[in-house]
Structure 1
Amino acid sequence: MRSLDLDTLANAVAGGAAAIRTITRLDPAGGPGDKVFPPTYVKERNATTKYATEQRRIDGREVSTVLLDSVASQANRLEEALLDGFRRGELPFPIVQVDFSNEEGLADLEQITALQAPHRIADALLRDSVLGGTPFRHTTVGKEVTDARPTHATAMYKYCPTALIFGVWDSTGPKGGLGAKFQRCLVSEIVGIDVAPGVKTASRLDPAGIQTKAGPVFKHKDPSQDWTVDPKEAELAKGKPVEFSRSGGGDGKKGSPSAINHGNIPPSIDAAAGGVTMSHAVQTTVLSLGALRRLRFQTTCSGERLPAEQRDAAEAAARTALAALALAAVVYQRDQGYDLRSRSTLVAREPLVFELVSRDGGEPERFSLSRSEAAALLKGAEQNARRLGLGWDPKPVTLTPAPKLAGLIRKSRELAASGEAEDEG
């Protein structure tokens, strides 16, 4: 099997193929029959499980399946893989980031990039940050990104090309709901096949033998003491001692020893989120070349109008660079493995293979692509685009948090540290 080269990719993007896909069969790291735990969701109506289960038709039969990693979650993992390649200096491409490293009490956040922000370059973290003292949306970069749209995508390509790959809706910008929408070009998900639901057991034996009747437990009036069983030491509300509760912690009801993680927990069985066994899992990843071809570029990255006789070639080169960046994300994610969450680690059955899906059907062409080859493919594609006026500057656009944003984060941390964090339930 030959490696995917730049000429083949460019021809595919130019119209020779409908999509590039990879389909990978996965097994639990513990081996066949080992239980895995899908992500949980709020149960609705008559649902018997907290998992996203459904019947799918596979090879002519209905099969019970469960979602192991959603499209949105996969996008986050692919973006993390790209960020890793960028920080290693292997994948040069534009990034916008907010730098917290010089903010008192927030230095641990380091840099949060558009690859990590939930809404990418349209996220509130970037909106509420500044560049040279100017709010991001009022800077040259911010204005150009705000005005970008699928038929005039140069600014987004110049500053945040990953948004063109993973999609973005600029719904919080000055145009509100009319802000530009860029569809996802790269879609991936992981699904468990032929699944059988399991159960999960839980219990705890307190070695100190603390009984529930030892309560009630009160909130101590001295925050450093946390809790007390003496009403005289308790914080008061309307003249009465406040029973202890901890948002996000404790296993029992308010005021009980279990609220401070003491006491026994009777054995229980959870059938709604008890994990699943399966025959195998499948990761399906599709890069839509049709979606890339809908992106238009009217100007060069320097702002000059693309000459009519050069525009088709320039647009094709830019789309090829985006395709190479998307494929690099897939390859780098594969190298990071499939540790999806606790008790949900998967391993691939076969090497990574890319298939070029013809617009007219037929047997797809198959190609390999290693990590070093993916990096070289990206660099070659970007160089071609650069010669036609659509090159990238890999030096990050670095913002700093506005004082109000930094203050909001600090206040939120103070509330969390004091145990007053809100209950999202």
Structure 2
Amino acid sequence: MRNISIDDINAAILNGGAGSLLVRVELEPASGLDGIIAPAKYAGANNATYVYEKRYLGEEKPQKVVLIDSKGSFANRVEETITEARRTGEGLLASMPHIVVKYDDESGSKTYCDSQLPHRGFDGHIRVGVHDGKSTSEAKEYIDARNSTLENLLPLFELSPVTVLFGGWDSTRSKNQLRIPSVLTGEMYGVLADQSDDDPAIHRAGARIDPVGASVSVAKKADREKIVGDSIDLSENTKNKFIGSGKGSIIGLGAIPPSADKGALDGVSVRGIVSSRVLSFTMLRTFHFGKGVEGDAAIRALIAAALLRAMAGYDENPVVRANCALTETGKPSVVLNKRYGEKEEFEPLTAESTEKLLEEAYMQAREKAGIVWNGQEFLVQGNPAVFDNASAEE
């Protein structure tokens, strides 16, 4: 087999070309099939819960699976490759134009790129900030970017390529709300070892030992206020709870016994794990940039190559979450889904091969569409009122 090439990408992004590229990886718990893994947690009616579904896996009956990583979460993990490239300055992804929000406080400056913000180029931190001394929402570059449409995404692509790459929705606008669909989607699920109707979750939580005292209960209100006053980093909600009850556990004092309560989720047992990613060329072909047939095609090829490079970068360090260490059971399959059921398989994507692909796509887009990536930065000074009122509590 061979590596996917720029010629393959160029053919795929034209009308009548391939519909999609599928990358599929099979995994298992790093500790072995008898190990447990922590799936994604979701908010339930009373407690956190896992998401269970039924999927057709080629067997007679659909199989029960648990969601390990969702579409949105997968996109964020791939975006982290771009953020890391900017930190290190390595590779062409580091040269992508980007929006940066900067917040200043007594401890120094904190910066956040559009690839880190939840709504990317349309994020509230950007919109309520200041650029060149005036509201970002009044800056011409930003206005032009927000006024982009699927018929001409060029202003947004030149300001915040990641928003076009991964999708976005300018949802707070009163009109002209641009919605950019995701061209790269991915998910990870585990096939449950127990296919019965029993609860497959393992319910347990670890203990905490306090060498000073197993229980800390402060009876005097004056002592409570003194303790709270000496802990200047406590949130107001935590302070008030402790002052009201005096229970040391609220501020992390005292021991906690191990628990097997139904609300304590520790993981599940799976017999196999599948991670699948789909790059949709049919969706990408709906993106236009006002650069004519050749120019638009070159930008689409650049988007596809950048996404493949970011995905390959994530696969070199595929962190999911704590207590979810996984290992591949074999090589990933990379399949181009062409017309009429025809398929072509390629070698697994690597950072090296996709970097070369990205460089070729960039030179093509520069020549045919005038795209320039020199690490251009659109700097936004974050609104101090937002930072001052931010809290780690949900």
Q: TM-score, normalised by structure 2?
A: 0.87
1:330 aligns with 2:311: yes
Matches within 5 A, 1:257-272: 257-272=248-263
Equivalent of 1:392 in 364, 372, 383: 372
Q: Is the 8 A contact 1:171 1:177 kept in 2?
A: no
Contact 2:186 2:277 in 1 (8 A): yes
Question: Is the 8 Å Cα contact of residues 333 and 345 (structure 2) preserved in structure 1?
Answer: no
| Residues 91, 375 of structure 1: 8 Å contact kept | yes
SS in 1 for 2:342: coil
Show the counterpart of 1:133: 133
Higher mean C-alpha deviation, range 50-59 or range 207-216: 207-216
**Residue 190 of structure 1, CA deviation:** 1.0
Give distance in 1, aligned partners of 2:310 and 2:336: 17
Asked if 1 retains the 8 angstrom alpha-carbon contact of 2:228 and 2:239, the reply is no
User: Which residue in the other structure is 2:196 paired with?
Assistant: none
Q: In the alignment, what sits opposite 2:201?
A: 197
1:165-180 matches, cutoff 5 A: 165-173=165-173, 176=174, 178-180=176-178
How far apart, in 2, do the equivalents of 1:341 and 1:132 lie?
A: 39
Contact 1:216 / 1:256 at 8 angstroms: preserved in 2? no
1:68 matched to 2:68? The reply is yes
The AA in structure 2 aligned to 1:56 is R
C-alpha distance in structure 1 between counterparts of 2:241 and 2:159, whole Å: 41
Change (3 A) 1:212 1:361: same
For 1:198, give the aligned amino acid. I
Displacement of 1:144 after TM fit?
Answer: 1.2
How far, CA to CA, are the matches of 1:278 and 1:357 in structure 2?
Answer: 29
CA distance 1:43–1:407, shift in 2 (3 Å): closer
2:279 counterpart SS class: strand
Cα displacement (A) at 1:284: 0.7
Superposed CA offset, 1:210-245 (max 9, x none) = 446664665315854349xxxxxxxxxxxxxxxx97
Q: Structure 1 residues 357, 249: CA separation in 2 closer, same or farther (over 3 Å shift)?
A: farther
Structure 2, unaligned stretches of length 5 or more?
194-199
Report the CA distance shift for 1:372/1:264 in structure 2 as closer, same or farther (over 3 A): closer
Match of 1:381 in 2: 361
The answer for the alignment partner of 1:96 in structure 2 is: 98
1:368 matched to 2:348:
yes
Partner SS state of residue 289, structure 2: coil
Higher relative contact order (CA 8 A, sep 6+): 2
CA change 1:211–1:223 in 2 (3 A) is closer
Instruction: Indicate the percent of aligned positions where both proteins have the same amino acid.
Output: 24
SS at match of 2:12: helix
Report the alpha carbon displacement of residue 159 of structure 1 after superposing the two structures with TM. Answer: 1.8
Q: Which amino acid aligns with 1:33?
A: D
Matches within 5 A, 1:267-286: 267-272=258-263, 273-286=265-278
- The answer to whether the Cα contact below 8 Å between 2:29 and 2:36 also exists between their aligned partners in 1 is yes
> Cα offset for 1:134?
2.7
The residue aligned with 1:220 is 225
Task: State the distance in 1 between where 2:220 and 2:267 align.
Answer: 35
User: Residue 54 of structure 1 corresponds to which residue in structure 2?
Assistant: 53
2:197 is matched with which residue?
none
Which amino acid letter does the alignment assign opposite residue 200 of structure 1? R
Q: Quote the Cα distance in structure 2 between the aligned partners of 1:290 and 1:137.
A: 33
Q: Name the structure 1 match of 2:327.
A: 347
Pairing 1:409–2:387 present: yes
Q: Cα–Cα, structure 1 residues 313 and 278, in superposed 2: closer, same or farther, change >3 Å?
A: same
Change beyond 3 A, Cα 1:139–1:49:
closer
* Alpha carbons 1:185, 1:289 under 8 Å: kept: yes
- Cα distance in 1 for partners of 2:306, 2:247 equals 54
Aligned counterpart for 2:282 among listed residues 257, 265, 290: 290
Alignment partner for residue 256 of structure 1, among 205, 230, 247?
Answer: 247
* CA offsets 1:304-344 (integer angstroms, 9 cap, x no match): xx4xxxx111111111111101111110110122x211111
Residues 5-33 of structure 1, C-alpha deviations (whole Å, 9 max, x = no match): 11111112224200011000111122222
Give a deviation string over 1:131-190, Cα, whole Å, max 9, x none: 2213222222101111101111111222222212211011224xx354111101000111
Give the aligned partner of residue 106 of structure 2: 105
> Is structure 2 residue 309 aligned with structure 1 residue 317?
no
Closer, same or farther: CA 157–267 of 1 in aligned 2, 3 Å: closer
Q: 26-35 or 262-271, which moves further after superposition?
A: 262-271
Which structure is larger by alpha-carbon Rg, 1 or 2?
A: 1
Q: CA deviation at 1:207?
A: 3.6
Q: 8 Å contact 1:29–1:347 — kept in the other structure?
A: yes
CA distance in 2, matches of 1:84, 1:388: 29
The match for 1:182 among 180, 183, 186 is 180
Is contact 2:21–2:336 with CA below 8 Å preserved after alignment? yes
Contact kept in structure 2, 1:129 and 1:399, CA below 8 Å:
no
**Structure 1 residue matching 2:158: 3-state secondary structure:** helix
Cα RMSD, aligned residues only: 2.8
Cα 1:266–1:27 shift into 2, 3 Å: same
What corresponds to 1:302 in structure 2?
A: none
- Aligned residues between the structures: 379
CA distance in 1, matches of 2:157, 2:213: 63
* Amino acid aligned to 2:386: L
